[in-house]
Structure 1
Amino acid sequence: MSENSTRFTAPPGAPPLVQLKGIAKFFPGVIANEDVDLDVLPGEIHALLGENGAGKSTLMNILTGIYQPDAGQIIIDGYAKTFATPVQAIGSGIGMVHQHFKLVQAFTVAENIHLGWSETPRRASGQVLEARTAALATKFNLQTRPAARVSDLSTGEQQRVEILRVLARQARVLILDEPTAVLTPAEARELFKALRDFASQGNAVIFISHKLDEVLEISDRISILRGGRKIATENAADCNPRMLAKLMVGRDIVLADMRQRRTGAAPISQRPVLTLANVSALSDAGDEALHGISLDVHAGEIVGIAGVAGNGQRELSQVLSGMRPPSAGHLLIDGTPVRNSNAEAFAKRGIGHIPEDRLHSGLAPALSVTVNAVMREYRKPPVCSGGSYRPTAATALAREIAAAADVAIPDFGMPIRNLSGGNQQRLVARREMRIAHNVLIAAYPSRGLDVGAINTMLRYIVELRDAGAGIVLISEELDELLNLSDRIAVLYEGKIMGVVDNDRADIDEIGLLMGGRRQAHEVA
């Protein structure tokens, strides 16, 4: 770990906190895990890397009692264990915080902490629960607001509540699945400090992430899965990003300059295909989230939107895709003012949308893979004929979209929530690109993807640009924006602070804009 912190030293002969031996798990047509060995030592942060679908989540679901292994052993503190339920796993000190939080939005933080906990007092007032929660937050160095409703919390605050729920139940091994995917850099730093403190007391963290720089910063050892098998376990100090990427995907990843246009690519149009003219919009809470934004998007160009998460990106993507009406100003498609914001009408006008929250905004989690894959073309042939839904044609189209997204699906009838987050993301992206004849609004399209899948995803976006679509690319990754965008607009507290041509982009200038400093010529 890069920051100095008190390191835990295990007594001689102490067993690993967790040993997985020969773990295997098979689904129809899919080898999720096979012959996987993994040791997690007291006092360490152990990163788990692998491509989407490599078996990371399945392995952790086995360790936490959600799945039962088809072969192999789970050994905790030197003793073999069998976990039939997550309750049994947490009883042995194994707790997991999933990518998609499982909090009750209408309850307070204190109520969520105490929900379903054997140590919750039988008759306790809200004040008692809040006092208990405050004490736990102090103990584990996780700042929370015990009386606040979860629905009013930021994503980072909700994550801290999830972690506190697990630690309150005396977890000694904390499993985090893509924990920084929805955090600001400041929130990620706070999380890393809390994880180091937790490990320094002889506990352990299993840290699943696709961000290689982040993995190298936080972890002591790194295990890599590929195709359901463990390929290697290495000391983080001996690794670099290129080496880890090659271990993950089995080949060198070459990141090309994606601003280069192929021969025959559509030129950038003279007239914008999408225009925001002095647009403002309200947040879900009724506050003004966007303030007087003006922006043009031309066919055949990529307009990047830079900024720290939480500065209006969600509301901007929703306004651009018809999901949120402007409170002031005008939105024009192909020069024609839009009278009523309506996501279906925008889709008919050729505007696709890869949303920030794929599971809840881009998918119907309980419905089948087929239904989710074809939902944008539900009323069109071949899915619909003579007003009737054709299940066979729908499944055939879903297979076509999954193949284009390079997603292996064992059963198109299963709920889409059963897919890994990365595979959900790729499926949503290919579905939306099929309808994005005019414009694609892509909010964090590479979030949760491994390095190989990111390269593929960005290549798909470039191909769409070269075919003549306008692209709005919202990302926290400045390198990604610089590698793809023709122009970069910087968003800060719901305002466009400036628009920079990529040919003349200055990283220091973009950084100042992200911090709320306007361009010098605008101030003048």
Structure 2
Amino acid sequence: MAYIIEMCNITKEFPGIVANDDITLQLKKGEIHALLGENGAGKSTLMSVLFGLYQPEKGIIKKNGEVVRIENPNDANRLGIGMVHQHFKLVHNFTVLENIILGAETVAGGRLQTKAAADSVQKLSERYGLKVDIHARIADISVGMQQRVEILKMLYRQNEILIFDEPTAVLTPQEIDELMKIMKELVSEGKTILFITHKLNEIKKVADRCSVLRKGQYIGTVTVADTSMEEMSEMMVGRKVNLMIEKNPAKTGDVIARVQELSIRNRLTHKMVVNNVSFEVRAGEIVCLAGIEGNGQSELVYAITGLLQPDAGAIEMNGEDITHLPIRKRNEKGMSHIPEDRHKHGLVLDFNLGYNLVLQRYFREPFQQSGFLQYDKIYEYADELIGKFDIRSGRGSRTDARSMSGGNQQKAIVAREIDRNPDFLIAVQPTRGLDVGAIEYIHRKLVEERDQGKAILLVSLELDEVMNLSDRILVIYEGEIVASLDPKTVTVQELGLYMAGSKRGELA
């Protein structure tokens, strides 16, 4: 059997960890090959070796049976290998076109020639249905559009082997469906796709074969059509995983959080992004705010947590008005926040894991005494959380947060926020970019918190998560709450109609 790409016996080590341990991966021409594994299983590392970002300690790479050396991404591009990274590599103040041609520019007489490039990009975007304004600045377009730019970058360079690293982690359900169509279209045109993911339903939808990694080791390759999601999840995690959430009926108590007639205006466009929103969350329940991305849920959460001041309305917690309290005071009064952007609002990436786990408490005893940090206490506490929440990192509490896998960064935030024993927990996309094992774990933690009488506001784009976890669903559309639904009686299709704004409900 001739393979277009073979990675043979690849071993890649970092201080304290073997990320890839003697892995062999074979890719057939014209297939969508999924690479499945838990967070930290070594998937992105293996792809970074193929793309020339890392050099392996052992092993060789072959293209069409010939051994090749890939010392940097330029070598990979010359061999027709392109990559869309999990965190996009785009220059935010450049236009779409400038980003696409960056590194492959045509220059004549010392001047940049963009006319031919613009025509070529326009043709590519029409041919593959990747509609995007080539003159827009990256900073002004949505995440889904940014991903299209990354795909166009690969197509412009005429790459034939396309690596997608966790491509759906930041997309809405509609954008994910769109991406799946684009991937099938690319393969029908003779491209070969390597698709890194841990979402089993996506693998079932588009992949032909699937290779599984676990803790840096190769477990096996299966034909997707012949393998169930349960079998794949067991290969990935090494045990049976419960894909359904088991929970008892909610026992609700007092109102913990109340939002009253909250309105927020966008500072640039002056348009109302949150319009007269009122709701409450009681002790012992999970209330889910469901909506398609960009309907005001981010701004609403920013106002509740103190990242943004509302233009009108009030926020109460435990009967006290906290609308104008600073963030630290809200934290101290019993609010915890798992933010949607773990890099921007969740972690200080250049701090180590130990420091990140005490970010809201370092100024309290036992972590400080007489104004001096007590490092032994900080690391002792961090090691306890690492064990309790199964946070995997090369050097334990001294690992730089930046070097950890996305899923383990997320687990660190969840550990920190839950361990503070909040009355009111706001969880925004808590399982975004996580594998089934970690999702099962975080769902169980949220249900445990609810059963201990905590009030939980969950904001999620994952319809399965919304339906399974919530006791009550509030649908937000264009900055307004348009329905209050019971997950036991509403269907996913009906929920989708409310989210798309084509249906409105009676609000209790």
Per the normalisation by structure 2, the TM-score is 0.93
Q: Does the aligned pair in 1 maintain the 2:483–2:506 contact within 8 Å?
A: no
Q: CA deviation at 1:508?
A: 4.5
Distance across 2 between alignment mates of 1:56 and 1:284: 40
Query: Residues 206 and 433 (structure 1 numbering): CA distance in 2 closer, same or farther, change over 3 Å?
Result: same
**Cα distance change, pair 403–178 in 1 and its aligned pair in 2 (3 A):** same
Alpha-carbon separation, structure 2, partners of 1:452 and 1:372: 23
Distance in 2, matches of 1:353 and 1:333, equals 14
Alpha-carbon contact 2:29-2:191 (below 8 Å) kept: yes
Name the amino acid aligned to 2:72. Answer: T
Check the 8 A contact 1:25/1:34 in 2, yes or no.
yes
CA distance in 2, matches of 1:206, 1:384: 48
Report how far residue 82 of structure 1 moved: 2.2
Deviations 1:368-407 (A, max 9, x none): 2222222122212222221112333322222222222201
Counterpart in the other structure of 2:413: 428
Say yes or no: does 1:224 pair with 2:207: no
Q: Which residue of 2 aligns with 1:212?
A: 200
Deviations 1:415-441 (CA, angstroms, capped at 9, x unpaired): 312111111111111111123512111
Deviations 1:46-93 (A, max 9, x none): 001111111111111111111111111111222212222222222222
Distance change in 2, residues 1:391/1:19 (3 Å): same
SS of 1:72's equivalent in the other structure is strand
1:283 shift after superposition: 4.0
Which sits farther off after the overlay, 350-359 or 509-518?
A: 509-518
Identity across matched positions, percent: 40
| 17-26 vs 506-515, greater mean Cα deviation | 506-515
1:283/1:430 CA distance change after superposition, 3 Å:
farther
C-alpha separation between the residues in 1 aligned to 2:234 and 2:31?
24
SS at match of 2:112: coil
After TM superposition, give the deviation of residue 289 of structure 1 in Å.
1.7
Aligned 1:58-77 pairs, distance under 5 A: 58-77=45-64
Cα distance, 1:198 vs. partner? 1.7
Alignment of 1:250-399 (within 5 A): 250-255=238-243, 257-260=245-248, 267-270=251-254, 272-283=255-266, 285-286=268-269, 287-340=271-324, 342-399=326-383
- Distance in 1, Cα, partners of 2:74 & 2:325: 45
* Shift in alpha-carbon separation, 1:351–1:128, aligned structure 2, 3 A: farther
Question: More displaced, 185-194 or 351-360?
Answer: 185-194
1:498 aligned to 2:486?
no
Q: Is the 8 Å Cα contact of residues 23 and 70 (structure 1) preserved in structure 2?
A: yes
Q: d(CA) in 2 for partners of 1:474 and 1:21? A: 43
- The residue aligned with 1:116 is 103
Higher mean displacement: 373-382 or 501-510: 501-510
Distance 1:288 1:67 in 2: 47
Which one-letter code corresponds to 2:452 in the other structure? Answer: A
Q: 2:386 matched to 1:410?
A: no
**Which range moves more in the overlay, 412-421 or 71-80?**
412-421
Secondary structure of the residue aligned to 1:33 is: strand
CA distance, structure 1, for counterparts of residue 367 and residue 155 of structure 2: 48
CA–CA distance in structure 1, aligned partners of residues 46 and 70 of structure 2: 13
- Distance in 2 (CA, whole Å) between partners of 1:244 and 1:120 is 49
Structure 1's 326 and 83: CA in aligned 2 closer, same or farther, altered over 3 A? Answer: same
Q: What letter matches 1:277 in structure 2?
A: Q
- Distance, in Å, in 2 between the alignment partners of 1:118 and 1:413 is 42
Pair 195,505 (structure 1): closer, same or farther in 2 beyond 3 Å: closer
Question: How far apart in 2 are the matches of 1:165 and 1:512?
Answer: 35
Which of 436, 439, 444 is the equivalent residue of 1:454?
Answer: 439
Flag the 1:206–1:120 CA change in 2: closer, same or farther, 3 A.
farther
Shift of 1:497: 0.9
Equivalent-residue separation in structure 1 for 2:507 and 2:401 (angstroms) = 47
RMSD between aligned residues: 2.3
Q: 1:92/1:407 Cα in 2 relative to 1: closer, same or farther (>3 Å)?
A: same
Take 1:385 and 1:508, find their aligned partners in 2: how far apart are those partners?
A: 56
The verdict on how the C-alpha distance between 1:366 and 1:89 changes in structure 2, with shifts beyond 3 A counting, is farther
Where does structure 2 lack aligned partners over 5 or more consecutive residues?
Answer: none
Q: Contact (CA 8 Å) 2:393, 2:408: kept in 1 or not?
A: no
Tell me what 1:150 maps to.
Answer: 138
| 3-state SS of paired residue (1:105) | coil
Indicate the residue corresponding to 2:471 in structure 1.
486
- Shifted more, 183-192 versus 30-39: the winner is 183-192
Determine helix, strand or coil for the equivalent of 2:248: coil
Distance 1:446 1:522 in 2: 28
Check whether the contact 1:276–1:293 (CA below 8 A) recurs between aligned residues.
yes
1:7 matched residue in structure 2 = none
- Asked whether the equivalents of residues 259 and 485 of structure 1 are also in contact (C-alpha less than 8 Å), the reply is no
Cα distance per residue 1:200-254 (max 9 Å; x no partner) = 2322111111211111111111111112111111111112211111111122112
Q: Structure 1 residues 383 and 170 mapped into 2: Cα distance closer, same or farther (>3 Å)?
A: farther
1:502 CA displacement: 3.6
For 1:16 and 1:520, locate their aligned partners in 2 and report how far apart those are by CA, in whole Å. 55
- In structure 1, what is the Cα distance between the partners aligned to 2:53 and 2:374? 35
- What corresponds to 2:17 in structure 1? 30
| Alignment correspondent of 1:138 | 126
- 1:254 maps to amino acid: N
CA distance 1:285–1:362, shift in 2 (3 Å): farther
How many residues align? The count is 505
Single out whichever of 504-513 and 203-212 deviates more from structure 2.
504-513
Instruction: Tell me what 2:173 maps to.
Output: 185
How much has 1:133 moved relative to structure 2?
3.7
Q: 1:120 to 1:18 in 2, by over 3 A?
A: farther
Q: Does 1:464 align with 2:449?
A: yes
Asked whether the equivalents of residues 322 and 330 of structure 2 are also in contact (C-alpha less than 8 Å), the reply is: no
